[in-house]
Amino acid sequence: MPTAKTKPKIKPARGKLGVLIPGMGAVATTLIAGTLSIRKGLTSPVGSLTQMGTIRLGKRTEERIPKIREFLPLANLEDLVFGGWDIHGKDMYRMCLDTGVLRKKHLTPIRNELKAIKPMDAVFDPEYVRRLTAKRAKKAPTKMALAKLLIQDIRAFKKSEGCSRLVMIWCGSTETYLEKNSIHDDLALFEKALKENDPSIAPSMIYAYAALREGIPYINGAPNLTENIPALIQLAKKTQSPVAGDDFKTGQTMMKTVIAPALKARMLGVSGWFSTNILGNRDGEVLDDPDSFKTKEKSKLGVLEYILQPKLYPELYLKAYHKVRINYYPPRGDNKEGWDNIDIFGWMGYPMQIKIDFLCRDSILAAPVALDLVLFMDMAKRAGKSGIQEWLSFYFKNPIVREGLYPEHDLSIQLSKMKNNLRHMMGEELITHLGVEYYDNSK
């Protein structure tokens, strides 16, 4: 049996953990309001693996299946403190009402705590999010100077809130599409470009740079290029900071990464996969801009290509036509409806169809994902991990991986990988699902 080679060397989660959020809109406010409600015992953390999930240790016959939060030295929800940046300047109670995700009766008991959380002024560039206009944005002569202002905010927040540790999680809008170029390839070039106001440095990159300079884990909940560039990965390594991304995997893509592996497992062919959505929240409005949609589209399209591996199975998947659409439709607010029409074929080429109609709630799905990521990334930092945390690909549409590797998209493989990483970190035996040990009579 494979055994873990390391003994747990994770520093304990002592003191408060500050959660810094660039972009305090629907996802961020739902995360904050939910956490505050859970703390008061008003609701339960449905959707959160760290809070509700279990992990098997050892053989099936041992019946050792602790709760993940009891097995790992994760931060306690009581110790979480929230802060962040946005362009609207509104407190979190006001924003919860504006986004309309949660009902007023769920907000009233946590009204005062929500009112006390106000965003700091953002680093914003309308070229990168064209559908929004900033009311509260920082001004400085260079992008490097903006990064330094963010670092001042981070330090001031840490001090005033008495935090022992921080994590940054981007819940901001999807930025316009940005191609990687040579200034992204090296930290020194990137820093020079920050000083020279290079247009190919997006605001999200300035936040990531500030966080990583301070040795703070960075999580990217959007499909923005941000931290997935060699310059920022170098910085992450240098300052011992873990990074994870990109783009929370919550609704339609989560379903895709369950269904597509099942079809491939049974060698059923796919001739087409049409995914469309209607969505009426601010995210939907931002994605109505073709350049922001392009960033999202790329993230959503990659999944099938990797899962179906058309080069290995040309007969089954080479001709699969994949289309993704997001339509802004205000009446639905945060309640997205995602349709998938999947044209498949089976034995002797006979066609069949699968239809999925997922009436989901975007932020209700995303908030527990964000919570888990915050807690895991804080632990990763205490475990001495830095750079890309591929074991967290379970949570992302477009998981970042080391150059030269392809990402793993299959949700069930991602879960096994993550749980084995958790066992490994805690010095427990890895689980291979081989199973012969239960039938080997000589032992």
Q: Rounded to whole angstroms, how far apart are CA atoms 31 and 24?
A: 10
Region near ligand NAD per CB under 6 A, out of 46-54, 144-152, 171-179, 255-263: 171-179
Q: Phi/psi zone of residue 404: left (φ > 0), alpha (ψ -120 to 50 degrees), beta?
A: left
- Determine, following the binding rule CB under 6 A, whether residue 27 of this chain makes contact with ligand NAD: yes
Nearer to ligand NAD, 76 or 142 (CB): 142
The answer to whether the beta carbons of residues 58 and 83 sit under 8 Å apart is no
Q: Does 385 bind ligand NAD (CB under 6 A)?
A: no
Single out the segment in contact with ligand NAD by CB under 6 A; choices: 269-277, 360-368, 381-389, 429-437.
Answer: 360-368
Task: With contacts defined by CB under 6 A, name the span among 143-151, 232-240, 248-256, 430-438 that binds ligand NAD.
Answer: 248-256
Per-residue burial over 119-154, b = 16 or more CB atoms within 10 Å of its CB, e = otherwise: bbbbbbbeebbbebebebbbeeeebbebbbbbeebb
157 binds ligand NAD per the rule CB under 6 A? no
What is the dihedral sign for C-alpha 326, 330, 333, 337?
negative
Smallest separation, CB 333 to ligand NAD (Å): 10
Strand partners, 242: 387
- Token couple for 302: 């990659």
- If one asks whether residue 178 binds ligand NAD (CB under 6 A), the answer comes out as no
Q: How far is the CB of 64 from ligand NAD (least distance, A)?
A: 34
Q: How many CB atoms lie within 10 A of CB 96?
A: 24
For ligand NAD, the closer CB: 175 or 378: 175
Q: Is 295 in the site for ligand NAD (CB under 6 A)?
A: no
Return the residue of 68, 365, 377, 418 that touches ligand NAD, per CB under 6 A: 365
Let me know: does 45 contact 38? Beta carbons within 8 Å. yes
Q: Which two tokens stand for residue 313?
A: 């199975």
- Cα angle 271, 272, 277 (rounded to 5 degrees) comes to 165
Verify binding: residue 33, ligand NAD, rule CB under 6 A.
no
Range list of β-strands (E), 28-117: 80-86
State both tokens at 314: 């040309």
User: How many whole angstroms separate alpha carbon 351 and alpha carbon 364?
Assistant: 36
Per-residue CA distances from 301 to 175, 194, 295 (Å) = 17, 31, 10
Give the range of 24-32, 46-54, 193-201, 415-423 binding ligand NAD by CB under 6 A. 24-32
Q: Contacts with ligand NAD: how many residues (CB under 6 A)?
A: 35
- For ligand NAD, the binding residue among 113, 153, 191, 247 (CB under 6 A) is 247
Q: Return the range that interacts with ligand NAD (CB under 6 A); candidates 3-11, 176-184, 245-253, 324-332.
A: 245-253
> Which x/- pattern over 203-222 shows residues binding ligand NAD (rule: CB under 6 A)?
x-----------------xx
Residue number, 102 or 426, with CB nearest to ligand NAD: 102
- Write down the least CB distance from residue 323 to ligand NAD, Å: 19
Q: Is 303 in the site for ligand NAD (CB under 6 A)?
A: no
In whole angstroms, the minimum distance from the beta carbon of 354 to ligand NAD comes to 22
Place of tokens 């505050």: 36
Residues 17/273, Cβ–Cβ less than 8 Å: no
Stretch that binds ligand NAD, among 51-59, 244-252, 322-330, 428-436 (CB under 6 A): 244-252
Measured from the CB of residue 18, what is the shortest distance to ligand NAD in angstroms? 17
Q: For 289, phi and psi rounded to 5 degrees?
A: -75, 120
Q: Contact between 25 and ligand NAD (CB under 6 A)?
A: yes
Residues 51-110 that bind ligand NAD (CB under 6 A): 85-88, 99
Q: Contact at 8 Å (CB) between 244 and 400? A: yes
Enter the DSSP assignment of 406.
P
SS3 348: helix
Q: Give the other-Cβ count within 10 Å of 5's Cβ.
A: 8
By beta-carbon proximity to ligand NAD, the closer residue of 86 and 428 is: 86
Contacting ligand NAD (CB under 6 A), which of 363, 386, 393, 398? 363
20 binds ligand NAD (CB under 6 A): no
242 binds ligand NAD per the rule CB under 6 A: no
Q: Does position 281 bind ligand NAD by CB under 6 A?
A: yes
In the structure encoding, which two tokens stand for residue 20, read together?
């810094």
Q: Which tokens sit at 368?
A: 């527990």
Q: Which residues bind ligand NAD (CB under 6 A)?
A: 22-27, 85-88, 99, 122-124, 129, 132, 171-174, 203, 221-222, 247-248, 250-251, 281-283, 286, 362-363, 365-366
